[in-house]
Amino acid sequence: MIVRRVRYEIVSRAIGPILVSTERWRRRLRDRKGGRAKAPFGPPLESTRKLKELTTLHYLTGRFADGAVPVAWVTSGFPVEVLRTLGFHTVYPENHGAICSVKRMVPVLSGAVEREGYSRDLCGYARADLGSVATGNTPVGRLPKPDLLCCCTNICQTVLYWYRALAVHFRVPLVVIDTPFVYGEARPHLLAYIADQLRELAEIAERVAGRKVDRATLAGTMRLAREGTSLWDECLRAGRARPSPWTGFDSFFHLAPIVAMRGTRECNAYYRMLRDELNDRVARGVGGIADERVRLLWDNLPIWFHLRDLSTVLARNGFNVVCATYTNAWAEAGAMLDPADPEGSSARAYLHVLLNRDLPHKLSVMKRLCREYGAAGAIFHSDRSCKPYSIGQIDLMGRLAAEEGVRGLLLEADHADPRAWSEAQAYNRLHAFMELFR
Amino acid sequence: MISARKIQGRKTVAVLPVHYPRELFTAMDIRTVELWGPPGPPRGPDAGRIQTYACAIVRNALAFLASGGADAVDAVLFPHTCDSIQGLATLAPDFGGWEKPALRYLHPKGEDRPAARAFVRAELVHLADRLAELTGSPLEIPRLAAAIGLHAKIDRLRGALLSRRAFLGMGDPALYRLLRRGEFLGPEDHLAELADAARGLGEERMQRGIPLMVTGYVPEPMTLFDSLEAAGAFIAADDYAAVGRRVPAAPPAVGGDPLDTLAAKAFAMPPCPTRGGDQDARMEYLASLYRHSGAAGLIVHVQKFCEPELFDFPAIRRRFARIGAPLLYLEGELENSLSGQVITRLEAFVEMVDAGRMSP
């Protein structure tokens, strides 16, 4: 334990940062030899380098985490502040699933568990993660084994079924924060239910970590989480400028720290840097794409494995995704966190996330985003892998057109698995959609 | 049928799958009619408002509600079963398809724990308040106690018919029709029919075919049982969400606060993935059900795109492979009848199980 802890600390504080900075120099040298073609995009964001370093360090440290510090595998909408306070290293299988998808590894990983009987109709993140667990195959080197599994149903109930399977595999405790769906505003007994569960979570996490939650540290973590959320919101709001200083596709990648490192100083420092860079670009009139003519809203998760091609096709035609319900979801609810009332405010914040609320709320968010960001069109990614996000999209598209004049396109794909992607069909529909704006 | 209830002056509520507190409705003199789809092609164009990769239960239900199929009822209850039904619970009432009151029952996910029990109790009170708005009369606790007693009798009889299946001289098609009549009959009428059937339970084994166990969501199409019967098999153990999983494994003690009893019942049911309990516990339950029923093979019969069921299938397959149980996986989409291919697969499975029993 002590040896592992020392190794973990050395990697996270010394070796990791050295490796990352060495990589930074190598990249600079490579870029000097010949920069990549920029058109149809604006100049790349400097912060992207820092993002890569942050992510690399997070996963590098993670390789040495188990046996050194308590490790929790956590869903993206989980109230993570208690875990941070207790010194858990957190792993986000959804974030890892996105990396697997970008690296186009999902068919192989999923294939491994499809042979065990998992259906291809299930969530692509879940299949990628379970496949990675089954084969030990991962693009990030190694994922530490969990001491605790933490699952919150505020993004979907799929995570519950997925984590039940992980609990059987790893034979470690599973904590479920069950967040009943909110129609309108949450009734008091829903809030009481979540607050009760948060207290249960604290007890279990304390047992696993072997220490007690320090209330002052918890308040500090809550403050950091709220501040991080607010900084992320400021970054997104920079996209209101014309031209938008970045694209929605950029923002999908830059979402990683607020999902996986929420409540840490590193996360907030990163978003301060990104915000400043974006605001500087706004001041200088630098856009995320070279010639921004039509601004769009994106609904649902990204198509991770095809983001680059899709963004290129849109940018070549002067289309920029300037806002997204997905990235906005992490900017909204965190503002409700209150360090003075950790359980009560967490209950409210984590219950009121976009995916846990009814369709009229989602429509009102979409309308607001379209107005504030000047989006004239919307791409609805009809995601075979994500039923809670996708059911209702057909009506939402109709309402947004009828009530706001925002024209929509339904684009069927999968957020993780390229086998559900029909390129010719999708681009045919996309080009027809773009013609509407000529 | 719904119109007949209305003539009797009773309010009627259509209920989507799967778990809900029927006792509460009985106590408030409200009839329930369950809406499992309905099966067959969608009745009306509104199914197109939900993508085809969502299950047929929700697509058909939206089409049915929007085309006026349930206009005779006074409200619809959407239990908090899965992401898709949850989505329907806001889509139909909020964006068109259902204009009358929409009720929701948010049952908790995960293990039995104090927070969950308190939540169920609060949800029951909330639902009772909504039903009182519908009927104009508040819930009377003594009537709830009586309803709990009535449904306990129904549960006992359903449990007896299922667990002592081999000793009942009634074929599966008739038995399942009887059991599923509980989805729309008044509880007193259903109880009378069950009691009548239970009189046929003897000490002598009546079923001579190949005993099989079935697990899945809903037994549709019902011609499945005709095909199995024709192939020489019968269902010795049932774990359908619509049937066996709604009979309490260990009924809670009656007495005390009826709302507490009803809240306790939610955790006394057999493990169901839609409730999200421990997967090991469910596998243990299924293996035990299989062993005690003397079944010789397992049919896993699931709805396409049904995440709760699909996520458990690999664990079921692993567990039953360890037992050495033959397993047949059937995936359907609420068809009206089985295809010839599926019937052939069923026949082949029964033959294979039979051959396995004969071999030394």
**Left, alpha or beta for A10 (phi > 0: left; psi -120 to 50: alpha)?**
alpha
**Left, alpha or beta for A11 (phi > 0: left; psi -120 to 50: alpha)?**
alpha
CA angle B180, B183, B189 (to 5 degrees): 90
Q: What is the DSSP letter of A11?
A: I
Q: How far is CA B19 from CA B49, B105, B260, B262, B350, in A?
A: 25, 9, 17, 12, 32
Contact between residue A244 and residue A287 where contact means Cβ atoms under 8 Å apart: yes
The percent of residues above 90 in pLDDT, for chain B, comes to 92
Question: How confident is residue B183, by pLDDT bands cut at 50, 70 and 90?
Answer: very high
Q: Are strands A174-177 and A148-152 parallel, antiparallel or unpaired?
A: parallel
Contact between residue A303 and residue A423 where contact means Cβ atoms under 8 Å apart: no
For A128, residues 6+ apart whose C-beta sits below 8 A from its C-beta are: A96, A97, A100, A101, A105, A106, A109, A110, A416
Rounded to the nearest angstrom, the minimum Cα separation between A390 and chain B is 8
Question: How confident is residue B6, by pLDDT bands cut at 50, 70 and 90?
Answer: low
Best CA proximity match to A77, nearest among A229, A273, A203, A227? A229
In sequence order, which ranges of A289-341 are alpha helices (DSSP H)? 307-316, 325-332
Question: B315 to chain A: nearest residue by CA?
Answer: A165
The beta strand positions in A290-368, using DSSP E, are 294-299, 319-324
Q: How far apart (Å, rounded) are the C-alpha atoms in residues B309 and B288?
A: 19
Q: At what angle do helices A423-435 and A307-316 cross, to 10 degrees?
A: 30
Find residues 258-287 of chain B whose CB sits inside 8 Å of chain A.
273, 276, 278-280
Question: How confident is residue B98, by pLDDT bands cut at 50, 70 and 90?
Answer: very high
- What is the pLDDT averaged over residues B231-249? 96
Q: Is A90 helix (H, G, I), strand (E, B) or coil?
A: strand
Q: Which of A118, A160, A201 to mutate to test the interface with B (most CBs of B within 10 A)?
A: A160
Q: How far apart (Å, rounded) are the C-alpha atoms in residues A48 and A333?
A: 25
- What is the pLDDT averaged over residues B62-87? 96
- What is the pLDDT averaged over residues B173-187? 97
> Are A122 and B310 a contacting pair at CB < 8 A?
yes
> Are B58 and A164 a contacting pair at CB < 8 A?
no
- Global pTM? 0.95
Contact between residue B175 and residue B10 where contact means Cβ atoms under 8 Å apart: no
Q: How far apart (Å, rounded) are the C-alpha atoms in residues B101 and B240?
A: 29
Strand partners, A223: none
> Are B119 and A165 a contacting pair at CB < 8 A?
no
Q: How far apart (Å, rounded) are the C-alpha atoms in residues A164 and A179?
A: 17
Token pair 């399942």: residue: B176
Burial class of residue A2 (count of CB atoms within 10 Å of its CB; 0-12, 13-18, 19+): exposed
> Are A161 and B119 a contacting pair at CB < 8 A?
no
Q: How far apart (Å, rounded) are the C-alpha atoms in residues A224 and A212?
A: 20
The ipTM estimated for the assembled molecules is 0.95
**Would you say how long chain A is, in residues?**
438
pLDDT for the residue A201: 95
Find residues 34-53 of chain B whose CB sits inside 8 Å of chain A.
48-51, 53
Task: Pick the range with the lowest mean pLDDT from A299-303, B40-44, B248-252.
Answer: B248-252
CA angle A285, A291, A295 (to 5 degrees): 90
Confirm or reject contact between B292 and chain A (CB < 8 A). Answer: no
For A132, residues 6+ apart whose C-beta sits below 8 A from its C-beta are: A96, A100, A109, A138, A143
Question: A397 to chain B: nearest residue by CA?
Answer: B49
Q: How far is CA B348 from CA A381, B79, B305, in A?
A: 42, 38, 26
The mean of the pLDDT values for chain B is 94
For A89, residues 6+ apart whose C-beta sits below 8 A from its C-beta are: A61, A62, A65, A69, A70, A71, A72, A144
Question: A173 to chain B: nearest residue by CA?
Answer: B278
Rounded to the nearest angstrom, the minimum Cα separation between B93 and chain A is 10
pLDDT over threshold 80, residue B63: yes
User: What is the count of residue pairs from A and B with beta carbons less than 8 Å apart?
Assistant: 154
Q: How far apart (Å, rounded) are the C-alpha atoms in residues A18 and A222?
A: 30
Nearest Cβ partner of A161 from B113, B119, B308?
Answer: B308
Residues of chain B found within 8 Å of residue A167, distances taken between Cβ atoms:
278-279
Low-confidence ranges of chain A (pLDDT < 70): 24, 27-38
The answer to whether the bond into B219 is cis (omega within 30° of 0) is no
For A144, residues 6+ apart whose C-beta sits below 8 A from its C-beta are: A62, A63, A64, A65, A66, A71, A89, A91
User: Mapped to the 3 state alphabet, what secondary structure does chain B carry?
Assistant: CHHHHHHCCCEEEEECCCCCCHHHHHHCCEEEEECCCCCCCCCCHHHHHCCCCCCHHHHHHHHHHHCCCCCCCCEEEEECCCHHHHHHHHHHHHHCCCCCCEEEECCCCCCCCHHHHHHHHHHHHHHHHHHHHHHCCCCCHHHHHHHHHHHHHHHHHHHHHHHCHHHECCCHHHHHHHHHHHHCCCHHHHHHHHHHHHCCECCCCCCCCEEEEEEECCCCCCHHHHHHHHHCEEEEEEEECCCHHHCCCCCCCCCCCHHHHHHHHCCCCCCCHHHCCCHHHHHHHHHHHHHHHCCCCEEEEEECCCHHHHHHHHHHHHHHHHHCCCEEEEEECCCCCCCHHHHHHHHHHHHHHHHHHHCC
Lay out the sheet containing B11-15: strands in order across: B30-34, B11-15, B75-79, B102-105
Q: Which of B18, B106, B217 to mutate to test the interface with A (most CBs of A within 10 A)?
A: B106
Token pair 């400028």: residue: A241
Nearest Cβ partner of A391 from B54, B273, B317?
Answer: B54
Rounded to the nearest angstrom, the minimum Cα separation between B245 and chain A is 18
